[in-house]
Amino acid sequence: MGVLAGRTALVTGANRGIGRGIAERLGRDGARVAVHYGRNEAAAKETVAAIEAAGGSAFAIGVELGLPGDAEALWEEFDRHADGLDILVNNAAIGSSRPIEELDEEEYDTVFAVNVKAPFFLVKHGIPRLRDGGRVINISSGLARTAAMPNNMAYAMTKSALDVLSRDLSKVLGPRNITVNSVAPGIIATDNTYELLHKSEDAWADAAALSALGRVGETADVADVVAFLASDGGRWVTGSWVDVTGGSLT
């Protein structure tokens, strides 16, 4: 039996990248995993299939975040498959890499709607479904606390807001023995970053050099930390910002 046997988890943006890695790890640990996706149903089904192939249980939920009523729609889909939740991982996010001179209001609003508003209302509407002793884990970013990177300003601002949500929500849910934490990855090898870093010959090496450990992170590096926080071993960690940058901030 896995350490999360009998528990139900929801991972947003679990059809690819870090979210998929987290969903697969929680599935291996015994949780039944709700694999959320926005548009790419085929990729979400691949995540579900991978979890099931490893002996786990999973189902897909398709709701595009960043639109009015998105949180309610997601929970309605969830309720068709499960009657309660133990672990909520707010992972879904979109990036923004424009300098302030080029960032328009539409992109700004979209980034905040997906990265901040959606997690906030997912938590709000998820609280009645979240069982005592549960876990809320928000995927932040090392950019929220690293040296200034002006082209990532809007994205970093959203992740800082998510960190405030984790800190304050830990006080709200603490009486129910529910922990709330932020996990902050650095550069992680996903489809998006792989494509970006291989645009130039030195970009990958430069990214690896940012880490004290001399390499680019893997999705498993983040998923393992999330799995710990989701387990009984993480019961005394709450309201925390967990650096998973491989020492990039040192």
Q: In this structure, are strands 85-90 and 241-244 parallel, antiparallel, or unpaired?
A: unpaired
- Residue 114's nearest CA partner among 61, 164, 163, 65 is 65
Compute CA distances 123 → 18, 85, 105, 109, 130, whole Å. 20, 11, 26, 20, 9
pLDDT value of position 9? 98
Domain boundaries, the chain: 8-244
Residue 207 has pLDDT above 60, yes or no: yes
Helix or strand (DSSP H, E) at 181:
strand 179-185
Using an 8 Å Cβ cutoff, are 166 and 239 in contact? yes
User: What's the mean per-residue pLDDT of the chain?
Assistant: 92
pLDDT in tens, 104-152: 899 999 999 999 999 999 999 999 999 999 999 999 999 888 755 667 7
Domain covering 8-244: architecture: 3-Layer(aba) Sandwich (3.40)
- Residue 235 backbone phi and psi in degrees, to 5: -65, -25
pLDDT tens, position by position, 12-52: 999 999 999 999 999 999 999 999 999 999 999 999 999 99
Statement: residue 243 has pLDDT above 90: yes
Does the active-site annotation cover 155? yes
Q: Which of 140, 166, 231, 248 is catalytic?
A: 140
User: Which one of 96, 117, 159, 170 is the catalytic residue?
Assistant: 159
Q: Tell me which of 37, 117, 141, 166 is the catalytic residue.
A: 141
Laid out side by side, the sheet with 130-139 consists of: 57-62, 32-37, 8-11, 85-90, 130-139, 179-185, 241-244
Determine which one of 37, 96, 117, 155 is catalytic: 155
pLDDT in tens, 74-86: 999 999 999 999 9
pLDDT-derived band of residue 1, with 50, 70 and 90 as boundaries?
Answer: low
- d(CA 187, CA 248) in angstroms, rounded, equals 9
Q: Could you confirm whether 141 is annotated as catalytic?
A: yes
pTM of the predicted protein model:
0.94
More confident residue, 155 or 20: 20
For residue 104, give both structure tokens.
Answer: 């328009």
Reply yes or no on whether 140 is catalytic: yes
